Structure 1
């Protein structure tokens, strides 16, 4: 069976109050970086810096040169606003002091 000439992928960028989600047809062999460039997300959200923001496919960190497969969902991640461990400690400490 011959390899497909094009693949369909989604590009996703989630914000607290909105989300960017675009489906693209790209040539087979396209990379994560190419998907971001073709999607328009970088123009619509100039705060995204691919040199700084982590990226991934379906919640798993990947590099910009990762080759995409058909039906991958490419994501760009925002920095955490709070350290998850510290937030958990605050919640646990707050509950303990109420008893």
Structure 2
């Protein structure tokens, strides 16, 4: 009996480049398995898929080793934040207030 295959996409982006890989993985593959099979780690030097946060269509996956992929899923590998978004907004608001008051 032939193994059933699923078609998925794997997405990753840096400031300089984006990757969107169309992949075929076996049914029952976990998110971790699918990322490994995608070959993304070989294309992006220094990318550690085991410690990178991952999501499916923008929703974070808490346990990539147990979550199974489904037909048509888009797996997204996220980069760590360089700055806290709330702090950046606070700084921008303070700067705008200072400019208005001057």
Task: With the length of structure 1 as denominator, give the TM-score of the two structures.
Answer: 0.89
Q: Which residue of structure 2 lines up, in the alignment, with residue 86 of structure 1?
A: 87
1:46 is displaced (CA, Å) by 3.0
1:52 is displaced (CA, Å) by 2.1
SS in 1 for 2:97: helix
- Residue ranges of structure 1 left out of the alignment (5+ in a row): none
Query: Root-mean-square deviation (CA), in Å?
Result: 1.4
1:51 is displaced (CA, Å) by 3.2
Q: Kindly tell me the number of residue pairs found equivalent between the two proteins.
A: 96
Q: Which residue of structure 1 lines up, in the alignment, with residue 15 of structure 2?
A: 16
Cα separation, 2, equivalents of 1:52 and 1:26? 21
- Residue ranges of structure 2 left out of the alignment (5+ in a row): none
